[in-house]
A and B are shown apart, each in its own frame.
Chain A
Amino acid sequence: MNALAARRRHPAAIAILLMLGLLVTGFAYSALAPQPAQAEASTAEDVTAGKQLFQANCASCHGVNAEGRATGNGDKVAGPALAGVGAAAVDFQMGTGRMPMRQPGIQAARGDVQFSQEEIDQVGAYIASLAPGPAVPAEEDVDASKGDPAKGGELFRVNCAMCHNFAGSGGALTRGKYAPSLMGVESKHIYEAMETGPQSMPVFNDNNINAEGKRDIIAFLKSVEDSPQQGGHALGALGPVTEGWFAWFFGLGILVAAAVWLGQKSA
C-alpha cells in the first residue's frame, strides 16, 4: 500500500489510471450491454457454406443473392428479398419444413424438415450476413419451465387467440390462408415466429411482447399440450361446432338406434 501511495505522483500514473478506467468500462460495457440473443457465433466458413446451400436450394425463388424474384405474372412474387429477415426467420422457415416450399400456394404449410440443423444454421448465417436481423433465441429464452403459464395464457388470449384459437388449435384467415395449430411446435420456433412474423402473422418483437412475455406464452402453450384432458376427449378443441356435430351424429344416432330397438320390442 505504501509503495503504491509513494508512486501515486509518478508521471505515468494518470496514463495508467486512464488505461485502467477505459479497460474496466470496456469490459463492463461488453458484459452488461444488451446483446442480440445469439446461440453461437457464426464463422466465415458457415457463411460460405450457407451461401452455397442457399444458391442450390433457395435461389430459384429468392434470387441468387436473396434479392427476391418476381414470377413475371403481374406483381406476384416468387420469393421475397431476404436481406434483414435474420437467422431467426431462416431457422423458423426451414426448421419447421415450410421452406423449401413444396409447391407454390397460398401459404407454406408445415412439413418434413429437409435439412440438418447444421445446414439450417449455415443458411441462417449467410442470410444474417446480408443485413442485421433477429437472431435465433438463446436456450434460456425459450425454456418453457422458466415461464409463467397463467400470465402467458392472458397474453395469448389478448394477442394470439383471435387467429390461433383459445387452445392453439388454429383458425381460418381470409382466402384460404390460415393460422396453423400451435400444438407440437418446438419452443424456439414459437419464439421465432413471434419475432419474425412469418407469412400472414404480425411481428411481435420486444416492443410488443418482451422476451419474458414470449417465454410465458411458450410456457402456456406447452401447458396446454401437457395438461390432461380434464373433461374427456376434447373433440379437436375447436369450440361449439364440433360439439354440435357430435350431438347430432353420435348423440342422436345412438338414441334413435335405442328408440328403434325399443320400438321393435313389442311389435
Chain B
Amino acid sequence: MSTETLPTGRPADQLRDGDKPAHAAPSAAARKAGGFAGWIDDRTSAAKPVNYLLRKVFPDHWSFMLGEIAMYSLIICLLTGALLTLWFIPSAGHTIYDGSYVPLRGQMMSEAYASTLNISFDVKGGLIIRQIHHWAALMFIVGLTVHMFRVFFTGAFRKPRELNWVLGTILALLAIVEGFAGYSLPDDLLSGTGIRAMEGFVQTAPVIGSYLAYAIFGGPFPGEMIIPRLYSAHVLLIPAILVGLFIAHITLVAVHKHTQFPGPGKTNDNVVGYRVMPVYAAKAGGFFFIVFGVIALISALFTINPIWAYGPYDPSPVTAGSQPDWYMGFADGALRLLPGWLEFSFLGFTLSLNIALGALVLLPLVYTVLGVYPFVERWITGDEREHHLLDRPRNNPTRTGIGMAAIVAYSVFMFAAGNDIIAIKLGMSINDITWAFRIGLFVLPPIAFWVTKRICLSLQRHDRELALHSRESGRIIRGADGSFHERHDALTDRERWILVQHEPVAPLQLTPEYDENGVARPAARKDRLRAKLSHWFFKDAVNPVTPAELAAAHHDGHHAEALEASDHDAIEQGADTDSTGLSSGSPVRD
C-alpha cells in the first residue's frame, strides 16, 4: 500500500466501499421464533446436528427396543449409583455395628458392610434405591444380551457394522466386569466369597498368578485395599469407559443408519420409519419410563441381594448357594464342570488348569469368539457388500444354527452354576446333574445346531411353497365336469414380497489349485479351506423363488394341485379366478 492512494476522508471508509449493505433486520415474528434457540445456535451451531438428529428416521420393530432396555437400565444404574455413593463408605476398616438391624448389632464388620446396612435400614428410601440399582444392573446385562441375540440372528453385524459389533462385545464384557465389581463392594458374606474366588482365579495364572494376586490385593488376602480399589473401578473407571464406548456405539448407529426388516418399499438404500421428532422422542422417552417403572416395581416387591441376611464377610465361613450374579454364572458353571484331574504339578510348580480354564480362559474366549464372528462369516461367505436390510433368521440357517448352538453351550455353563439349587429343588443328585451338564456341553450344541438348521430350512421350504402355491384354503371345489381341485387363497404382494425378497446364495467356487501354466497357486490351501467352509455354510441353502419359477407356477400350478389331474383343460378353466387373483395381487375371497 502506498501513501499516494491514501484517501482524504476517514481511512477506513475506502475499505468499506465494496461492503454489501447490512441485511434488513428480521421481522419481529422471526426474531421471536429464533429467540432462545437462535441465541443458542449463534453460540454453538447446534441447530444443524440437532436438526439432523431430530429428523432422523428410525424403523419400527419391537426387537429394535431390546437395546433400549439395556440403555435405560444403564442410565438407571448411573442415577441410583450416584445416590448410593452419598452413603456408601468404601473401606475395609473395622467397626462395630450399632444400627437398627438388631440381628447384627454388636458384630464386628467392615465399614463398607456397615454402611450398606445403613443404606438398607437407616437411610430413608435407601433400600429401594439399592434394589433398583441391583435389579437394573441385572436387567442391563439381560437387555444387552437379548439385543445381541437380535443383532446376531438378523445379521445386523454385517458390513458396515462390524466395528459396532466389536464395540458392543467390548461393552458386554465391560458390563459384566462392572457388575462383578459392584457385587463385591458391600463386603457381605456372599460378595466376600466372590472376591475370595476371584483371588483364587488370579492365582491360577501360570507363573505370575501369585504376584498378580498380591498386586491386586495389595498384599495377602483379604487386606484392606481391595474394596477401595474395586470402588474406584466400579464408580469411576469402568463407568467412564462404558459410557464413552456406549456413546461411540450409538453414534455409529446414527452414522450407519438403523437396519430394517425387509418389506415392500424397504431397500438397502433407504430407511422406512418415523422421524425421531415427534414419534420416537415420545416412544423412546415413554419406554424409558416404562423400563424405570417396571424395574422400580420389581425392586419394591422382590428382594435382591439381602446383604443383611448374608452377614458380614469373614474368610472362614461360606454359605450354600454361593453363586455370582447370573452374568458371571457361565464362568462359575465352567468351574463346577471342570474335572479335578486337570491340576498338574511338576518340579514343585502347580498348574491348576481345572480352575484356570474356566476362570481365566473361558471369559475372554467367549467374548473374543463373539467379537470375531462377523469377520469369520464375511471370510467364509465372501460377502463384501453393505447390508442395511436384515436377514430373517430362517434365511440364513447356518448362522442361526451357530447362534443357537452358542446359546445352548453358554446356557449349559450358566445352568451348571446353579447345579446345587437344581439338585435341592428337583430332588436330584448333584453328581448326576454335573455329569449331565458335562455330557450336555458336548452333545447339546451340535443337536441345537442341527435342529435349528433343519427348522430354518423347513421354514424356508414352506416359504417357497407358500410363494409358489399360496395358502391352501382347505376348500375343495368340484368342477362342472365332476373333477375336484383345492382352492388356494392368494397372497398379497406384501406377503409375497417378504417370502421372496432375500438374495439367493451359493457356496464359493474353488479356484483351480494350478494356474493355466500348471504352476501351483500359493493361496490354494487357504482357498480350499474357505471353499470347504463356504460349502458347509451354504450347501443345503434353499433359495428364494425366482420370478421365472413364480410365473411357471402360475402357469401350470393348478395341474399339480388338482386332486384329479385327468382332465387338465377343464381344471384350468375352472381355476381361472385363482390365477387372476394371484397375478393381480389382491386376495380372492369367497
Please indicate the chain B residues that have their CB under 8 angstroms from the CB of A227 in the complex. 103
Rounded to whole Å, the gap between the CB of B285 and the closest CB of chain A is 11
Cβ B324 vs Cβ A240 within 8 A: yes
Do the beta carbons of A166 and B60 come within 8 Å of each other?
Answer: no
Do A175 and B429 touch (CB < 8 A)? yes
> From residue 1 to 26 of chain B, which have CB atoms closer than 8 A to chain A?
none
- Inter-chain contact B325/A153, CB cutoff 8 Å: no
Contact status B320-A237, CB under 8 Å: no
B193 to chain A, nearest CB (A): 10
Q: Does B484 contact A (CB under 8 A)?
A: no
Could you tell me the distance between the alpha carbons of A119 and B17 in the complex, rounded to whole angstroms? 122
B322 touches A266 (CB 8 A): no
B156 interface contact, C-beta 8 A: no
Q: Is the CB of B138 within 8 A of A256?
A: no
Q: Does A134 contact B (CB under 8 A)?
A: no
> B295 near A251 (CB under 8 angstroms)?
yes
Contacts A150-B107, A166-B309: A172 and B421 contacting too (C-beta < 8 A)? yes
Asked if B265 CB lies within 8 Å of chain A CBs, one says no
Give the residues in chain A near B324, CB-CB below 8 Å.
Answer: 240
- Main SS of chain A's interface residues? helix
Q: How many residues of B contact A (CB 8 A)?
A: 76
Q: Which residues of B90-108 have CB atoms within 8 Å of chain A's CB atoms?
A: 102-107
The residues of A that contact B317 with a CB separation of less than 8 Å are: 157-158, 161-162
> By the criterion of a CB under 8 Å from any partner CB, how many residues of chain A are at the interface?
62
Query: With a CB–CB cut-off of 8 A, which chain B residues contact A45?
Result: none
| Given known A230-B303, A259-B65, contact A178–B274 (CB-CB < 8 A) | no
Which of A175, A230, A258 contacts B294 (CB under 8 A)? A258
* B430 engages A172 (CB within 8 Å): yes
B27 close to A (CB within 8 Å):
no
Which of A71-79, A136-144, A206-214, A242-250 sits within the interface?
Answer: A242-250
Q: State whether the Cβ of A183 lies closer than 8 Å to any Cβ in chain B.
A: no
Q: Which of B284-299 contact A (CB under 8 A)?
A: 286-287, 290-291, 294-295, 298-299
Given contacts A150-B102, A157-B314, A176-B427, contact A244 B320 (CB under 8 A): no
Q: Decide if B291 touches A255 in the complex (CB within 8 Å).
A: yes
Given A224-B309, A252-B139; A230-B290 close (CB under 8 Å): no
Q: How far is the CB of B427 from chain A (nearest CB, A)?
A: 7
Question: What chain A residues lie within 8 Å of B420 (beta carbons)?
Answer: 171-172
Contact among A162, A245, A262 for B286, CB-based, below 8 A = A262
A231, B127: Cβ atoms closer than 8 Å: yes
- Whether, in the assembled complex, A33 has its beta carbon less than 8 Å from a beta carbon of chain B, the answer is no
A28 at interface (Cβ–Cβ under 8 A)? no
Asked whether B103 lies within 8 Å of A244 as measured between CB atoms, the reply is no
Q: Which residues of B contact A150 (CB under 8 A)?
A: 102-107
Chain A residues whose C-beta falls within 8 Å of the C-beta of B103 in the assembled complex: 149-150, 153, 220, 223-224, 227
Query: A154-B311, A224-B103 provided; 5 other pairs, C-beta below 8 A?
Result: A150-B105, A172-B320, A173-B430, A230-B308, A241-B329
Q: Which residues of B contact A (CB under 8 A)?
A: 60-66, 68-69, 102-107, 120-121, 127, 131, 135, 138-139, 142-143, 146, 189-190, 274, 279, 283, 286-287, 290-291, 294-295, 298-306, 308-311, 314, 316-327, 329, 417-421, 423-424, 427-432
List 5 A-B residue pairs with CB atoms under 8 Å apart, sorted by A's residue number.
Answer: A157-B311, A162-B318, A166-B190, A166-B309, A258-B294
Q: Give A residues with C-beta under 8 Å from B.
A: 106, 149-150, 153-154, 157-158, 161-167, 169-176, 178-179, 220, 223-224, 227, 229-235, 237-248, 250-252, 254-256, 258-260, 262-267
